[in-house]
């Protein structure tokens, strides 16, 4: 092929001819050959990768790897069908590949329910709650507890819920009705699933960066969490709390990447090759200065996405050269509490309640004591 002729050896041979005979025709040919070499070289090393900018890894290889996982987990009959199947529906293979393709670009998603004017109230703090579309109970529990606090220590607070696609016309209608009633729902057009939590988080970051840049702080908080807005506000209003490049919560240090294929935290080496994660903040509830969302969305263009949303945010932070901060009192960011009576919830910022009933119970326990 033509490319063969463009190899360096061909070029050198013609070059030697040029040195010996000084024929103008040869000089021209040698010059042309030289430029062809350069063009071929550039094409080979630069243009090819650039023409597939999103191919960070060999998708066929990943497909095979993930089929291998399926083989490992299921019986022989599914193997035979799955190995010939071109489009395995809702399997981990498509999940991984679509997450890989889409998650880094939250702006490729569109808000099907939006509240673009919410931030005209200039909130100081925005609480962003990812929640399953059908989980009205969780939203109502939050609306009647910490989500109903629109002003804390004189600072405006906004609580919004983010859902993905509901997967049904009737469910969608109900969501739209709920949205009209409460005006606190955001919906983006990705398939809502556990595997897609990274997309959900990135869409939250995208919303904050594009619809609410004027807020000072934001928090990503799961829908089964108890939070104490008073204590959170005290932390944010402390003169020692930075208003830029700040993120805090329950720090996860030097966590190993789960390679056990039966775990829900399994991440294939193709998606994340290192054996440990950089320091990250546990996804249940982390607080950040509101310059962070834009920077994370930007970083996500360079960081290959994987399905552990909080560790992925950690990888983006590492790329930005930013370390999560220890909370001034790390014991304020609790995970599980045995029961709401043994832990003094009036002193903490977060605790996993685990259900909407518990969110209400925890809230009432604290507010009864006041
Ligand atoms: C193109 O790249 C391959 C390896 O990536 C190399 O073997 C080959 O020699 C290169 N061709 C040219 C013309 O540079
Ligand atoms: C991707 O991996 C598959 C299977 O390992 C291999 O057959 C194929 O050649 C690879 N493609 C590229 C572009 O490396
Ligand atoms: C929110 O709080 C107000 C009082 O500040 C109260 O009237 C209202 O009923 C509460 N909303 C919910 C859903 O509990
Ligand atoms: C994740 O979302 C993408 C985009 O909507 C979708 O194509 C993919 O199937 C989803 N994955 C899962 C496991 O739901």
For the segment 258-272, the average pLDDT, to the nearest whole number, is 90
Query: Over 90: is that where the pLDDT of 175 sits?
Result: yes
Query: Over 70: is that where the pLDDT of 284 sits?
Result: yes
Residue 255 · residue 278 · CB < 8 Å: no
d(CA 45, CA 165): 40
Ligand 3 pocket check: which of 139, 144, 184 to mutate, most ligand atoms within 8 Å of Cβ? 144
pTM to 2 decimal places: 0.70
Ligand 2 pocket by Cβ (under 6 Å): 58, 60-61, 64
Rounded to 5 degrees, φ, ψ at 200 are -60, -45
Report pLDDT digits (tens) over 118-174: 999 899 999 999 999 999 999 999 999 999 999 999 999 999 999 999 889 999 999
Predicted local distance difference test score (pLDDT) of residue 90: 37
d(CA 46, CA 11): 20
The model's confidence at residue 317, banded by pLDDT at 50, 70 and 90, is very high
Alpha helices in 240-355 (DSSP H): 292-299, 309-320
Query: Over 80: is that where the pLDDT of 11 sits?
Result: no
Of 95 and 273, more confident = 273
Report pLDDT digits (tens) over 100-133: 554 546 667 899 999 999 999 899 999 999 999 9
Q: Is the CB of 144 under 6 A from ligand 3?
A: yes
Return the ligand 3 atom nearest residue 140 CA: 13
Domains observed in the chain: 101-368 (3.90.550.10)
Cα dihedral 208/52/196/145 (nearest 10): 0
The model's confidence at residue 35, banded by pLDDT at 50, 70 and 90, is confident
Residue 66 · residue 268 · CB < 8 Å: yes
Ligand 4 center to 277 CA (angstroms): 24
For the segment 209-227, the average pLDDT, to the nearest whole number, is 97
Q: Is the CB of 298 under 6 A from ligand 3?
A: no
Query: Over 80: is that where the pLDDT of 73 sits?
Result: no
Query: Over 80: is that where the pLDDT of 321 sits?
Result: yes
The model's confidence at residue 21, banded by pLDDT at 50, 70 and 90, is low
Residues near 65 by Cβ (< 8 Å), separated by ≥ 6?
Answer: 268, 270
Return the ligand 3 atom nearest residue 148 CA: 1
Ligand 1 center to 3 CA (angstroms): 10
DSSP β-bridge partners for residue 288: 218, 247
Query: Over 70: is that where the pLDDT of 189 sits?
Result: yes
Ligand 3 center to 183 CA (angstroms): 15
Q: Closest residue (by CA) to atom 3 of ligand 1?
A: 44
Ligand 3 center to 149 CA (angstroms): 9
Ligand 3 center to 166 CA (angstroms): 28
Question: Which bound ligand lies closest to the C-alpha atom of 149?
Answer: 3
Report pLDDT digits (tens) over 270-283: 889 999 999 999 99
Residue 317 · residue 337 · CB < 8 Å: no
Query: Over 60: is that where the pLDDT of 40 sits?
Result: yes
Predicted local distance difference test score (pLDDT) of residue 369: 61
Question: Which bound ligand lies closest to the C-alpha atom of 66?
Answer: 2
d(CA 80, CA 50): 37
Predicted local distance difference test score (pLDDT) of residue 88: 31
Bridge-based pairing state of the strands 285-289 and 125-130:
unpaired
Predicted local distance difference test score (pLDDT) of residue 340: 60
Question: Which bound ligand lies closest to the C-alpha atom of 151?
Answer: 3
Q: Is the CB of 46 under 6 A from ligand 1?
A: no
Predicted local distance difference test score (pLDDT) of residue 77: 27
Predicted local distance difference test score (pLDDT) of residue 158: 98
Percentage of the chain lying above the pLDDT 70 cut: 73
Query: Over 60: is that where the pLDDT of 5 sits?
Result: no
The model's confidence at residue 43, banded by pLDDT at 50, 70 and 90, is low
The residue among 142, 134, 309, 331 whose CA lies nearest residue 225 is: 142
Whose tokens are 């069908």? That residue is 81
Ligand 1 center to 7 CA (angstroms): 8
Ligand 3 center to 203 CA (angstroms): 29
Residue 257 · residue 276 · CB < 8 Å: yes
Q: Is the CB of 6 under 6 A from ligand 1?
A: yes
The model's confidence at residue 97, banded by pLDDT at 50, 70 and 90, is very low
Ligand 2 center to 273 CA (angstroms): 18
The model's confidence at residue 264, banded by pLDDT at 50, 70 and 90, is confident
Predicted local distance difference test score (pLDDT) of residue 341: 67
For the segment 9-32, the average pLDDT, to the nearest whole number, is 62
Q: Closest residue (by CA) to atom 2 of ligand 3?
A: 148
Report pLDDT digits (tens) over 330-350: 999 999 887 666 678 899 999
Ligand 3 pocket check: which of 140, 148, 360, 363 to mutate, most ligand atoms within 8 Å of Cβ? 148
Predicted local distance difference test score (pLDDT) of residue 69: 35
Query: Over 80: is that where the pLDDT of 206 sits?
Result: yes
Report pLDDT digits (tens) over 45-59: 444 333 333 333 333
Ligand 1 center to 44 CA (angstroms): 6
Residues near 176 by Cβ (< 8 Å), separated by ≥ 6?
Answer: 113
Q: Is the dihedral of CA 218, 214, 183, 155 positive or negative?
A: positive
């Amino acid at each position: 092929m033509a490319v063969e002729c463009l190899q360096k050896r061909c070029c050198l041979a013609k070059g030697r001819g040029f040195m010996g005979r000084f024929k103008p025709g040869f000089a021209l040919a040698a010059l042309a050959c030289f430029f062809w070499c350069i063009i071929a070289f550039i094409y080979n090393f630069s243009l090819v990768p650039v023409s597939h900018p999103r191919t960070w890894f060999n998708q066929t290889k990943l497909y095979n790897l993930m089929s291998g996982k399926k083989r490992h987990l299921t019986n022989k009959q599914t193997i035979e069908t799955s190995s010939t199947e071109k489009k395995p529906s809702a399997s981990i293979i498509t999940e991984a590949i679509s997450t890989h393709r889409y998650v880094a670009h939250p702006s490729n998603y569109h808000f099907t329910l939006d509240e673009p004017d919410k931030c005209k109230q200039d909130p100081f703090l925005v609480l962003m709650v990812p929640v399953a579309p059908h989980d009205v109970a969780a939203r109502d529990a939050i609306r009647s507890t910490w989500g109903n606090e629109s002003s804390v220590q004189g600072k405006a607070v906004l609580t919004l819920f983010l859902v993905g696609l509901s997967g049904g016309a009737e469910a969608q209608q109900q969501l739209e009705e709920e949205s009209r009633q409460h005006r606190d729902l955001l919906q983006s057009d990705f398939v809502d699933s556990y595997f897609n939590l990274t997309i959900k988080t990135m869409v939250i970051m995208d919303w904050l960066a594009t619809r609410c840049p004027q807020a000072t702080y934001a928090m990503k908080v799961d829908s089964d969490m108890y939070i104490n807005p008073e204590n959170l506000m005290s932390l944010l209003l402390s003169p020692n709390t930075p208003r830029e490049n700040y993120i805090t919560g329950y720090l996860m240090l030097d966590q190993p990447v789960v390679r056990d294929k039966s775990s829900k935290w399994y991440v294939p080496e193709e998606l994340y090759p290192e054996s440990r994660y950089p320091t990250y903040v546990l996804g249940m509830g982390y607080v950040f200065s509101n310059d962070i969302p834009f920077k994370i969305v930007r970083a996500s263009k360079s960081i290959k996405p994987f399905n552990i949303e909080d560790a992925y945010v950690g990888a983006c932070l590492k790329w930005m050269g930013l370390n999560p901060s220890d909370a001034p009192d790390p014991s304020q960011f609790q995970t599980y509490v045995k029961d709401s009576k043994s832990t003094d919830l009036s002193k903490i910022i977060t605790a996993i309640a685990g259900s909407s009933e518990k969110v209400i119970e925890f809230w009432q326990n604290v507010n009864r004591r006041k």
